[in-house]
Amino acid sequence: MWPLVAVIGFMLCLDPSFQQFPRPCATREALRTKECCPPWEGDGSACGAISGRGFCQDVEVPDLPDGPQYPFSGLDDREKWPLVFYNRTCRCAGNFMGFNCQDCKFGYFGANCNERRESLRRNVFHLSRAERIRLMSYLNLAKQTVSRDYVVATGTYQEMENGSNPMFADVSTYDVFVWMHYYVSREALLGGPGNVWTDVDFAHWAPAFLPWHRVYLLHWEHEIRKLTGDMSFTIPYWDWRDAQGCDVCTDDLMGERSPQDPSLLSPGSVFSSWRVLCSRADDYSGRGVLCDAQHEGPLTRNPGNHNRDVVERLPTSAEVEFTLSLADYDTGAMDRSANMSFRNTLEGFGDPQTGLGSSSRMGMHAALHVYMNGSMSSVQGSANDPIFLLHHAFVDSIYEEWLRRHRPSAAQYPESNAPIGHNREYHMVPFLPLIRNREYFISSKDLGYEYSYLLGANQRLAESLRPYLEELQDVWPWLLLAGLCGGIITLAAAAAFLTAKRRYRGSPWLQVGRWKNVFALPERQPLIRSSDAEETKHRNYQTTI
């Protein structure tokens, strides 16, 4: 299977270029020279320079101050990413991208990356039965298949003896993403057990929250396409507005609750056999180490049995609408205390009814994580649960709706004074090739994808009917066969009746008059409604309303 997938991936110009450490850049030589410019297979030159796809370039990090919340420098591998590991990387030209420029930018396909296509992310409940099965199969394949192109770091650069002793591990394609979300949100390791900085996160609690997760989903989507060869695959979303519970928690989707243990998944779900990693944040911080990428136990989830003082219920349509009405992307200190901030309110630390920051209760995005009450409730380990993808796809759709409604200028994304890693020109951790936060403060349509519920009315109707029409298309031969059989039986019955009628014409037992009174009921008075009965009927109808 792998050779075929590799050929398809090359020919259709997929985008596998997202993880922190491509295998060619995880060697002692690459770390010691601090250069990640692998050759493109097409011409053998670094970054495909001979073919004009890109070139190897010094990393440019803007000389801008980070936020005042981060009072130390040079003590965390993620600061001024990726300079601790590499100071030269590929810079791709035109529509090319990737750690060696062999791939296409989002929304572009073809050997020369000049075919523009728009993908559609659909409501998970609008998927046909075949599409649901395909989604579950792809997720499980990604979980069971070791990544061919990437490894994950299990030690800091200092522990690697400045590159002389590389510390990396093989993990599955799915778990590479789990590790990425852990790595970007882990606490800052400052050397030694217990010596950590807790109030830091390069993808949460600040302006880059929405752009970072947008990039994350796009790369995950493209990696599944590379793995399966299915160019039509898109991440579905879970529209959780006004949901009374976890309605995606069924065995044909994300997994029901186990009857033996409510914190585990049903044996009927493919996800019940999954094992998590990077889920013990307190343990790592206490020992002053990185996650070792080893399996740590089963996936857990217990939706609804959470702390009601932290999250009252799932978000409502009214709360989503209020969040969308906030005109400012971010405000104030641009952290969890930000007032009337769209980003902070959507993330869940601003009250979705007043817009005031540092809310005593979590709402919106954060409410879903807490509500799931298991693997999803840990920031660093939440990506272990596949519900993470459906949830963040819907969060991204709200971000997209806000962008279209308010059409913010690029200046709305802060240039300075945001928390560490969140300024406009900062490179997102841990992506290679390098991506600046501002580059994804743009519409999804510029990135080659759309959400089905943001389509026009006629398109939305057609999209909602699509799975039913596909199901009908699958069964119509059987319906046609059933119709033909029914027609034949009807004709045969009619012919038999006519034959019998001719044969027994004049026979006394066929005379209808002799039989009509056999089934007659005793005569009754006709039903006449009284005016009282009519009035009672109307009173009851009003009471029902």
On the question of a cis peptide bond just before residue 352, with omega within 30 degrees of 0, the verdict is: no
Kindly state whether residue 491 falls inside one of the protein's structural domains.
no
Residue matched to tokens 């398809």: 8
305, exposed or middle or buried, with CB in 10 Å at 0-12, 13-18, 19+? middle
**pTM for the model:** 0.83
Kindly state whether residue 167 falls inside one of the protein's structural domains.
yes
Q: What are phi and psi of 371, to 5 degrees?
A: -60, -35
Kindly state whether residue 475 falls inside one of the protein's structural domains.
no
Kindly state whether residue 16 falls inside one of the protein's structural domains.
no
Kindly state whether residue 274 falls inside one of the protein's structural domains.
yes
Domain of 399: which CATH number? 1.10.1280
Kindly state whether residue 15 falls inside one of the protein's structural domains.
no
Structure letter (DSSP) for residue 289: -
**Could you give the CA distance from residue 261 to residue 299 in angstroms, rounded to a whole number?**
12
Residue matched to tokens 């395909």: 134
- Give the bridge partners for 190, in sequence order: none
Structural domain span for residue 460:
123-305+373-468
Residue-wise pLDDT tens for the chain (545 aa)? 333 333 333 333 333 344 569 999 999 999 999 999 999 999 999 999 999 999 999 999 877 666 555 656 778 899 889 999 999 999 999 999 999 998 899 999 998 999 999 999 999 999 999 999 999 999 999 999 999 889 999 999 999 998 999 999 999 999 999 999 999 999 998 887 878 888 889 999 999 999 999 999 999 998 999 999 998 999 999 999 999 999 999 999 999 999 999 999 999 999 999 999 999 999 998 999 999 999 999 999 999 999 999 999 999 999 999 999 999 999 999 999 999 999 999 999 999 999 999 999 999 999 999 999 999 999 999 999 999 999 999 999 999 999 999 999 999 999 999 999 999 999 999 998 899 999 999 999 999 999 999 998 887 777 777 666 666 665 556 666 767 777 787 777 777 767 766 666 655 544 544 444 544 444 444 443 444 444 433 333 122 22
**Could you give the CA distance from residue 324 to residue 399 in angstroms, rounded to a whole number?**
8
Number of domains in the chain: 1
Structure letter (DSSP) for residue 154: -
